[in-house]
Amino acid sequence: MKAFFIQLHQKLVTTISDEQKWSLFQHACVYISLGASSAVMTVVNVFTGKGWLTWVTLAFSVACLINLLLTSRKGVPAKIAMMLFAAEITAIFIYFILSGDPDGFSVIWTVMLPSFGLLLFELRYGTCLSLLVFAALIFFFWTPPGQSLLQYDYSPTFMMRFPLLYLACFCVAFLLERMSEAARKALRESHRNYEYLCYHDALTKQYNRFWLQSIIAQPEKYNIKPAAVAILDIDNFKQINDNYGHPNGDVVIRAIGDTILQTLNGSGDLCRWGGDEFLVLFHTDIDADTVCRRIVDAVHAHTFQFDGHSMCTTLSIGLVTTPDGSTDDIDALIHQADVNLYVAKDNGRNCMISSRLGD
């Protein structure tokens, strides 16, 4: 049971963090709650013989069901459902105001509009919708032409006070929605920062090993099928740390990561594989062999200045390509690229060893 609630909490946090999913979830909840309430009221109206009110609540219940079905399809149908709902809820509340059924009670339902309107249509459009109904209340309750259209004999005190009650409900709903919006915005920002820290290396700002492991574990989510994988290792990096210190070693790692990324120029995804190693997932239509050779040359051409001394470093690269242009077996590519890297090291470093998967 505890595991169930933990999973439920995680799904809720994920939904809230995704603005589109959260919006669809809110709409679905509103349509379900209002549709169910209207269905119950329809049954009550049938047994109490309320005539037209029965058909109105039934029609609204069906309309909520249609809105729910449209929302489940997302995209344009969900937007159509929103527009339909705005027209439907405005029409039913004006009917409640005019008819007063049953016994002047139905009009009280209009105080729910600010909450639902601001929830579904955000502050700008929800405010417009709520104020539109408020204007209708003023017209029907406070002006002689509007009062002449009323089919129920409201008391003067009720007609005077009810628009003010509605306005108070709107102000409270507006304040709560502003607070809720700020909280959701902070949560989404926190979630984005968490994802960035989770998938990026703190030193180089490139993807990290956890990002790659996530791709391997959920290939269908990321839809990445690389054409090649290269593992790149900085030659004699321990000597750099020993001679110039670990802070300067960090400078070297960061600069080489930037050089690799610039040379890739969008042809692959770069991650820090660990320590002084990087890994590249090449995209499907890239000449990985040529790009890797450019990386070797670019890194070798980079000069560092530490304590008045100039130095340059080199890379060894193990590259493996796929015979069919792409594969989802990233583990096999990584293993073969690692084998090729060790061959490059044994061959004197500052070079690249390449092979095809399965050779």
The full 3-state SS of 191-225, as one line of letters, equals HHHHHHHHHECCCCCCECHHHHHHHHHCHHHHCCC
Confidence of residue 77 (pLDDT cuts 50, 70, 90): confident
Residues 279-300, mean pLDDT to the nearest whole number: 88
pLDDT, tens digit, 9 for 90 and up, residues 319-338: 998 887 777 788 888 999 99
| Top mean-pLDDT range of 28-32, 189-193, 203-207 | 203-207
Please name which of 135, 271, 295 lies closest in space to residue 208, comparing C-alpha atoms: 271
Identify the helix (H) or strand (E) that includes residue 119.
Answer: helix 113-142
What residue ranges define each of the domains in the chain, with the CATH number in brackets?
A: 2-196 (no CATH), 209-356 (3.30.70.270)
Is residue 351 left, alpha or beta, with left meaning phi > 0 and alpha meaning psi from -120 to 50?
A: beta
Kindly state the tokens that stand for 275: 């320590």
Please name which of 264, 251, 316 lies closest in space to residue 291, comparing C-alpha atoms: 264
Q: Specify the pLDDT at position 1.
A: 59
Percent of the chain at pLDDT > 70 equals: 94
pLDDT, tens digit, 9 for 90 and up, residues 40-63: 989 988 888 888 888 989 999 999
Please tell me the total number of residues recorded for the chain in this structure.
Answer: 359
**Nearby residues of 172 by Cβ (< 8 Å), 6 or more positions away:** 114
Out of 201, 235, 276, 289, pick the active-site residue. 276
Decide: helix, strand or coil at residue 358: coil
258 is known as an active-site residue: no
The DSSP code for 106 is: G
Residues 67-77, mean pLDDT to the nearest whole number: 87
Q: What is the DSSP string of 268-293?
A: EEEEEEETTEEEEEE-TT--HHHHHH
Decide: 285 and 252 in contact? Cβ < 8 Å: no
Kindly state the tokens that stand for 188: 């989404």
Classify strands 277-282 and 228-234 as parallel, antiparallel or unpaired: antiparallel
Residues 225-242, mean pLDDT to the nearest whole number: 90
Q: Specify the pLDDT at position 165.
A: 94
The answer, yes or no, to whether residue 5 has pLDDT greater than 60, is no
Kindly state the tokens that stand for 20: 């589109």
Q: Specify the pLDDT at position 255.
A: 93
User: How far is CA 85 from each of CA 129, 288, 335, rounded to the nearest angstrom?
Assistant: 11, 54, 56
